[in-house]
Amino acid sequence: MGIRDFIQYLREHREKAESPDALPDIEREEVLRQAEMMVGMVDAAVKELESVISNRRVNLPEEHALRFAQDVFLYLKDEEERVKERLRQRVEPGA
């Protein structure tokens, strides 16, 4: 999945999470599963970027680019986590 695909899925997930009560249970669970998978992908990407920064000699512009990419991924992860929380509130009442 590319970054554009990720952003498109995030957009779709946000729309669906706006009114989770309107979603059938099976669709809500599928969106939640996709969101969890996407968060895992972002975690892996952030760790890989940190590994490159830590274990290889990179010049300052490269490091800035890698840090920027990490920040973008972390922002997207936070947004997808918000979607998960909204969906879970409906799936797990009282949580």
Contact yes or no for 54/74 (Cβ under 8 A): no
Interatomic CA distance for residues 73 and 67, integer angstroms: 10
- Quote the pLDDT of residue 56: 76
Interatomic CA distance for residues 2 and 29, integer angstroms: 23
Question: Per CATH, which fold does 3-91 belong to?
Answer: Methane Monooxygenase Hydroxylase; Chain G, domain 1 (1.20.58)
Interval 1-58: pLDDT, tens: 788 999 999 999 998 888 777 788 898 899 999 999 999 999 999 999 999 988 778 8
Interatomic CA distance for residues 28 and 80, integer angstroms: 14
Q: 3-state class of 95 per DSSP?
A: coil
Across 76-85, average pLDDT: 93
